[in-house]
């Protein structure tokens, strides 16, 4: 850190802090009138909305103005305030007799990245008290602390208001994307085009033609197999054809003229779960790119840049490679992310995919990009939610439940028109989202610059009449020593003196 202004001192944060670890109140039992004190768990810490209450008892508490620090878990080191009540077991209350409470909060908050990457513990990370205590803490005069806090709150309030507006705009773009997808798969997006264009083949005719061709290919393949084996065709062998599942159209709306409902099973010609390769089988020097769950976006694309790499034999490469136009469906993930779909737009050499993904291929019933957008849309995802199997931490969508789900099938030329209009709209949304993301990054950088200036003594002017921080520090040290020297009397009091 650069040289501090006159009147400031540099100390270890541990000297300025008093730490009170939280704990879970005992004997919670069912909710009732005795549960009257707010209980601050991680959820309440993040949202500032307390939903849990506990009985009155002697456990650590805090006020809304107190600084709370996440002590355990993935977000260890994150500081917050604004809620009061019992302090949960994964949190700690930070106070100081040297620093203004808000000055302390902003300083600890600005060190989140450092604390979060210097945790200790196996499994669940937690704050390392030694790391926390050794952080260099710039201590200004008490009066300057007050001025710094006032200026910080002025600047950060304006900055937060701007960030809130950006996030509102970001949310509205997401809602617009969903509305656009809904209009696309309901036919509203191409209503005028449809009124002026008569398809050469309706969606129903297209579906029937493809299914007929698919069955004919199966029968030809079976006959060739019988001939290779020198066998005559068994009686009723055609009855063994695996008919695709019919669409479940319960509660679905009527489609535009020329459209038809089809099941995922009817539009997908081939499906296959991917190749299992563990973390220890992945290396930068391996031969093939390997698409994983995190490479599938929530907006319908498979990102094949900077993939992890794996090795595979020839048979595995032939079986598990993807080609342009394949759609990858995320069968297993967190409750929120399961069901992501991504279209493979481009490739850089042979590329394989993970066993949590299912590869979907098509033979002409739908254009792959149209199917991918439809599976990203709110209507299909709503149907998928009903067949999702979920636990507290992970969810899955199995093929037997996915395949009967209904998809809208327009004529092929209308599918192409939908994609033209949809692509234009989506490109506009993406451009705006990128601009918002850039602005949010700029705001985050500006916040760090403001905090950096505050703790370097550059945010507000110094007042030579302020009591130096060294005098404050000496006084507090003297008071602490005096308090520590006060000892309780030993033994029981003499009779008659109590």
pLDDT, one tens digit for every residue, the chain (498 residues)? 468 999 999 999 999 999 999 888 777 767 777 787 888 888 888 888 888 788 788 878 889 999 999 999 989 999 999 888 889 889 999 999 999 999 999 999 999 999 999 999 878 899 999 999 999 999 999 999 999 999 999 999 999 999 999 999 999 999 999 999 999 999 999 999 999 999 999 999 999 999 999 999 999 999 999 999 998 899 899 999 999 999 999 999 999 999 999 999 999 999 999 999 999 999 989 999 999 999 999 889 999 988 999 999 999 999 999 999 999 999 999 988 999 999 999 998 899 999 999 999 998 899 999 999 999 999 999 999 999 998 877 999 999 999 999 999 999 999 999 999 999 999 999 999 999 999 999 999 999 999 999 999 999 999 999 999 999 999 999 999 998 887 655 545 444 443
Look-up of token digits 């779909």: 341
Check residue 455 and give its pLDDT: 96
What residues have CB less than 8 Å from 120, skipping those under 6 apart? 126, 127, 128, 131
Rounded to 10 degrees, what is the CA torsion of 272, 278, 281, 283? 90
End-to-end CA distance of the chain: 57
Residue 486's φ and ψ, nearest 5 degrees, are: -75, 120
Buried b (16+ CB within 10 A) or exposed e, 251-262: eeeebeebbbbb
Total Cβ atoms within 10 A of residue 204: 16
Q: Give the CATH number of domain 257-410.
A: 3.90.220.20
Residue 38's φ and ψ, nearest 5 degrees, are: -55, 140
Check residue 35 and give its pLDDT: 81
Is residue 393 within 8 Å of 329, Cβ to Cβ?
A: no
On whether the 8-139 domain is CATH 3.90.220.20, my answer is: yes
Rama region for 197: left / alpha / beta (φ>0; ψ in -120 to 50; rest): beta
- The one-character DSSP state at 300 is S
């Amino acid at each position: 850190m650069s040289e501090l202004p006159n009147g400031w001192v540099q100390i270890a944060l541990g000297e300025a802090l008093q730490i009170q670890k939280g704990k879970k109140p005992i004997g919670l039992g069912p909710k009732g009138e005795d549960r009257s004190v707010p209980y601050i768990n991680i959820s309440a810490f993040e949202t500032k909305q307390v939903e849990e209450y506990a009985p009155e008892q002697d456990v650590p508490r805090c006020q809304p103005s107190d600084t709370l620090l996440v002590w355990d878990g993935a977000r260890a080191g994150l500081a917050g305030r604004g809620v009061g009540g019992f302090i949960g077991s994964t949190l700690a209350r930070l106070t100081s007799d040297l620093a203004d409470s808000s000055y302390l909060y902003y300083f600890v908050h600005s060190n989140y990245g450092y604390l979060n990457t210097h945790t200790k513990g196996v499994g669940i990370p937690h704050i390392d008290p030694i790391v926390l205590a050794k952080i260099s803490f710039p201590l200004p005069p008490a009066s300057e602390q007050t001025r710094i806090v006032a200026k910080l709150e002025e600047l950060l309030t304006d900055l937060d208001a701007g960030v809130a507006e950006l996030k509102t705009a970001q949310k509205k773009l997401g809602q617009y994307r969903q509305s656009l997808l809904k209009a696309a798969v309901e036919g509203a997006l191409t209503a005028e085009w449809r009124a002026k264009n008569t398809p050469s083949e309706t969606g129903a005719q297209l579906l029937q033609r493809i299914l007929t061709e698919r069955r004919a290919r199966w029968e030809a393949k079976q006959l060739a197999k019988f001939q290779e084996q020198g066998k005559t065709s068994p009686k009723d062998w055609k009855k063994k054809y695996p008919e695709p599942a019919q669409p479940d159209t319960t509660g679905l709306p009527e489609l535009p003229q020329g459209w038809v409902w089809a099941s995922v099973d009817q539009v997908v010609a081939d499906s296959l779960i991917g190749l299992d390769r563990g973390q220890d089988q992945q290396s930068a020097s391996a031969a093939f790119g390997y698409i994983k769950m995190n490479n599938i976006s929530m907006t319908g694309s498979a990102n094949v840049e900077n993939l992890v790499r794996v090795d595979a034999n020839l048979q595995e490469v032939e079986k598990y490679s993807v080609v342009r136009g394949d759609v990858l469906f995320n069968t297993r993930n967190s409750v929120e992310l399961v069901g992501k779909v991504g279209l493979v737009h481009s490739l850089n050499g042979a590329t394989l995919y993970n066993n949590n993904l299912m590869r979907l291929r098509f033979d002409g019933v739908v254009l792959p990009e149209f199917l991918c957008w439809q599976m990203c849309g709110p209507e299909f995802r709503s149907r998928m939610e009903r067949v999702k199997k979920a636990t507290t931490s992970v969810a899955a969508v199995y093929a037997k439940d996915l395949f009967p789900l209904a998809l809208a099938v327009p004529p092929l030329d209308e599918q192409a028109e939908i994609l033209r209009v949809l692509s234009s709209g989506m490109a506009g949304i993406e451009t705006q989202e990128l601009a918002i993301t850039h602005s949010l990054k700029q705001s985050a950088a500006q916040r760090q610059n403001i905090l950096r200036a505050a703790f370097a003594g550059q945010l507000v002017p110094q007042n030579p009449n302020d009591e130096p921080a060294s005098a404050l520090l000496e006084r507090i040290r003297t008071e602490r020593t005096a308090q520590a020297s006060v000892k309780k009397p030993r033994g029981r009091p003499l009779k008659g003196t109590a």
